Amino acid sequence: MLPLTAQNLPSLADGLPVPSYDRGALRTGIVHFGVGGFHRAHQAMYLDRLMSDGKALDWAICGVGVMPADRRMRDALVAQDGLYTLVVKAPDGTLEARVIGSVKEYLFAPDDPEAVIEKMAAPQTRIVSLTVTEGGYNFNAVTGQFVAENPDVQHDLQPGAVPRTTFGLITEALARRRDRGVPPFTIMSCDNIQGNGHAARRSFVAFATLRDPALGEYVEQHVAFPNSMVDRITPVTTDEDREEVRKRWGVDDAWPVVCEPFTQWALEDVFPQGRPPFEDAGVQVVADVEPYELMKLRLLNASHQALCYFGYLSGYRLVHDVAQDPLFAGFLLAYMDREATPTLEPVPGIDLDEYKHQLIDRFSNAQVRDTVARLCAESSDRIPKWLLPVIRHNLDTGGEILRATAVVASWARYAEGVDEQGQPIEVVDRFADTLVPLARRQREDPLAFIANRELFGALAENERFVSTYRSVLASLHTNGARATLEELATAS
């Protein structure tokens, strides 16, 4: 069994493609925060495609970890010279694997924040990209305001503090570039947030202004923040995935990545310091990303939430089992057709009817084995950004809200932390300590959960939303998740 390292690449199995380019000649041009499975199945994969064609050789990635949990990724990638196996799982069981080589180096910020800052301050770095999750931008879900009270943010704002947040590290690098006369890099968000570039701009400008108003003005006026839409279902890597790579290809890879065949990236073309020729690798480089991102957030991402809580409460644990159930597939299509689609504008080059049915097919891919629990995690970062805008739009326009509101009720029921068989549910959410007690009060006080203005704003004061929510929640408590869905399926 060969460990996956640069030295061992020539000895790997013939059926496993490896980088054809000289990795020793690569130069780092991108620093990326949040090197998880999605980044490695998506942005890093696109760059590997370009490098395999002899392009973008000066745009290699330096990965950065900030959170304590990132130490594991650091250990894996450093030991493997940045290499990893990407396994694409088709619905028919076909597996297509290749070794990705576009990640040239990895830095763990808690160990050496100065090295991270200087890597970004170097003129060779022209893009700093982010997949730090929806919660990583530190803004209030209702007001959109930057949460300055965050203890880590407060730490980084102290004079002379050694930065420990993404904001502190990146802003310090921008300050050094300004002081050295080096043009600022572009900050490219790849997270599932509507207007992710605008969201990144608000957060970084707010942090920089709190640190130094002149620096905040500099960031606002001179740093580019392109919007993007990213899409590829990438489940958490399991020990079974590692073992499959060992058995099939004879490679000992500490952290391979598995994903579906489908991939999409729509990217706003705003890069003052240049960019790789992403369009040559299949990226849609466009002038306006908003139609694509709203399509993805309100159809794909919100539909993930539509299936996960009802699915978990109904006893399902794998996403494909939920999506293959006709009751659930019908519910998802009804939500997309009757509630989400009316909130969208036409999307250039996309047939929305085809896209929606394709989503059901993608969710149904049994080979990917995505877990329902993964989709249920961090809901307080997801529901306010993906689903509540659909409800608010339809409340304003007189549209239907039944199914989207039912998803909120299913989240509230799931957040009680006990399933329909009385078994405990691990509620993975940064606000779990607040949400679970609220959810457990709702049998006596049905509005306890949605009265949380930090997440729902004034929705609990809207009579149409409240009456719909109460009805569905009562059915979940009395009849259970599946019977509630059956009742919803008969609704006009």
* CA distance readout (Å), 300 to 282, 377, 434: 20, 16, 28
What does the pLDDT look like over 434-492, one tens digit per residue?
999 999 999 999 999 999 999 999 999 999 999 999 999 999 999 999 999 999 999 85
Helix 302-313 and helix 379-386, axial crossing angle in degrees, nearest 10: 130
CB 174 within 8 A of CB 207: no
What is the DSSP annotation of 275-299? Answer: ---GGGGT-EEES--HHHHHHIIII
Per DSSP, the three-state class of 340 is helix
Strand ranges of the sheet holding 84-89, from the earlier edge strand across to the other edge: 95-100, 84-89, 257-259
Q: Which residues contact 379 (CB under 8 A, 6 or more apart)?
A: 305, 411, 415, 429
Sketch out the chain's domains with CATH numbers.
2-286 (3.40.50.720), 290-489 (1.10.1040.10)
CA distance 73 to 63: 10
pTM: 0.93
Q: How much is the pLDDT for 492?
A: 59
Strand ranges of the sheet holding 264-268, from the earlier edge strand across to the other edge: 228-231, 264-268, 284-286
CB 202 within 8 A of CB 148: no
* CA distance readout (Å), 417 to 101, 287, 381, 411, 438: 42, 44, 18, 10, 11
Per-residue pLDDT of the chain (492 residues; tens, 9 = 90+): 899 999 999 999 788 999 999 999 999 999 999 999 999 999 999 999 999 999 999 999 999 999 999 999 999 999 999 999 999 999 999 999 999 999 999 999 999 999 999 999 999 999 999 999 988 999 988 888 999 999 999 999 999 999 999 999 999 999 999 999 999 999 999 999 999 999 999 999 999 999 999 999 999 999 999 999 999 999 999 999 999 999 999 999 999 999 999 999 999 999 999 999 999 999 999 999 999 999 999 999 999 999 999 999 999 999 999 999 999 999 999 999 999 999 999 999 999 999 999 999 999 999 999 999 999 999 999 999 999 999 999 999 999 999 999 999 999 999 999 999 999 999 999 999 999 999 999 999 999 999 999 999 999 999 999 999 999 999 999 999 999 999 999 985
381: its two tokens: 């970062």
Backbone angles phi, psi at 277, to 5 degrees: -75, 70
104: its two tokens: 């040239």
Cross-strand pairs, 89: 95
